[in-house]
Chains A and B, each alone.
Chain A
Amino acid sequence: MHDTPKKMQYSLDMFRCGALVTDKQRRIIYANSYFLEELKWPLDELIGKAIDEIFNRPSKIFCESYLMPLLMHNKKCEEIQLSLLDGEGVKIPVIVNAHMDSNETIYWSIFNATNRSKLYQELVDARTKLEAQAEVLESLSSTDDLTGLMNKREMTIRAPLLLEQSQRFKHSISVLMIDIDFFKKINDNHGHLEGDRVLKEFGRCLTEFGRQSDLISRFGGEEFLLMLPDTNSEGANVCAKRVHDLVTKIRVANGSITVSIGICVTDGTQAYETICQRADEALYQAKNSGRNRTVFFK
């Protein structure tokens, strides 16, 4: 026959983890001897302290923002990693499980997580690095190298969303297809570097002039596509005039460049491709009727 274990033979002091009890005011009313032996807290100093006093400041915020609301809501929480301060003020990563009874007494179990914390840190660092790399790649794939504007690919992704939005909110949207006049001549007469400088400057011009909500892209070669939400033909005309004005500041040899602009105004019901085609047709007309002008698609 087995000996029946006597209740008094076992106590919480035998467990190799911290056990704490806090009252409704979240003051510590019990701590097992693990706190003294492993965490260097004189027990009489610990009793009466608010629970958050044994956590470091970041953990206090985490406690107040996640742990306490979880406890109030679910009456328990598990596997929360926090940093505890030992009796000498040294930070120790711990895993906390807690549950709350109907009197709001909370029973806390606290496990040292120093090794696990190192592993987590490695995982977090690896993820942060991957996230940063993904962000760079995403930006590279959506941006035009030379001008820093979005590229045609990105425009093709974002334009339909903008069109959908304008249809929903019943706003008109203006699409401007802009082409730098005689760009080939700049390249031929002054070299590609000069051509690149003009494209860059024009890109910068458009960025400075555009609103935050506008989509501005280099569509290819010396062609740029702008989508201006909540802009009717009157507004588009004002914008086009400003672009014609702004480019006079971009000088090549003794003159300044000019641009031709084709505009299509839509209520968002036509497909993106159709709108581009119409803006392109208008641009073609602008080119054919002497360049340095704006033509609306009719």
Chain B
Amino acid sequence: MSFKTEIIERNNVQVIGSGSKVLLLAHGFGCDQNMWRFMIPQLSSDFKIVLFDYVGSGKSDVSQYDKKRYSTLDGYAQDVLDVCQALELKELVFVGHSVSSIIGLLASIQKPIIFSKLVMICPSPCFLNFPPEYLGGFDKEDLEELLNLMDTNYIGWASYLAPLVMGTENSESLVTELSDSFCSTDPVAAKTFARATFFSDYRHILKEASLPTLILQSNDDALASVAVGEFMKNEMAHCELEIVKAKGHCLHMTHPDSIAPELIRFVNL
């Protein structure tokens, strides 16, 4: 099996749309590439869009899961680089949700030549509080309890985690095809991803950012506050911060109409 075929299967890579510019959309912790489906109608006519699932999420090949590799965000950054190498992508715009923003930044620092710009949706370089100088929003005990919550919910779901039924109003073929894996991540992989996401501190790499970057932050997000967005903007060179008047951490799902034009504008700058 060639490297290309192997990675396409391993990371469930999908390529849609057409255009000279390539957008690589990277899902955050919790779900999978389906998170992007609300944005795709607005992007696919102008851009070539590459979607993928990190190993351990969505419809990736779970047999390739390596707990050690995916215990830090570098392992996920390697997934990004593998996908780029497999598809021979260059000059791409990386769009990451939440933790994927940092994963993309790590990948771009490692192989800057592949990337042209970064778009970060609700990013945070560190979810932990280090008072007084930095408030990521959460204490260690909160995050330990989160891991516990993931466990209890897995037990709770296990009895009926057979394919999740779609709402009748969602008729797109893409959705029907891929929906059964949505959020039904393998528990070991999900907990490892949670630990890598929420216990890490990547504030120090922000200074190494060199690409033009757009941060889209909600003005009311329980996970990544406006202050975190401002902190990132101050640390990173060539960084633009847009505060979107919205509630929640999943702007690309809840407010695709507000953020898609911003994203398109920034990509075409």
Contacts and interface: CB of A to CB of B under 8 A. Distances in A.
B254 A72 contact: yes
Contacts, number: 126
A169 interface: yes
**What is the interface residue range for chain B against chain A?**
35 or more
- Which secondary structure dominates where chain A touches chain B? helix
A89 interface: no
B1 interface: yes
A26 B156 contact: no
Contact of A123 (B155, B165, B198, B248): B155
Interface residues of A, number: 40
Contact of B29 (A57, A65, A102): A65
A117 B153 CA distance: 10
Interface in A203-228: none
Given A58-B143, A62-B153, A123-B155, A79 B160 contact: yes
A105 B257 CA distance: 19
B59 to A, nearest CB: 15
A44 to B, nearest CB: 22
Interface string B164-183: 11110110000100010011
Interface string A164-199: 000011000000000000000000000000000000
Contacts of B149: 58-59, 62, 81-83
Interface in B1-30: 1, 3, 6, 28-30
A95 B156 CA distance: 9
6 contacts: A58-B145, A60-B223, A62-B153, A63-B222, A64-B221, A69-B250
Interface of A: 25-26, 50, 52, 56-66, 68-70, 72-76, 78-83, 95, 102, 117, 120-121, 123-124, 127-128, 168-169
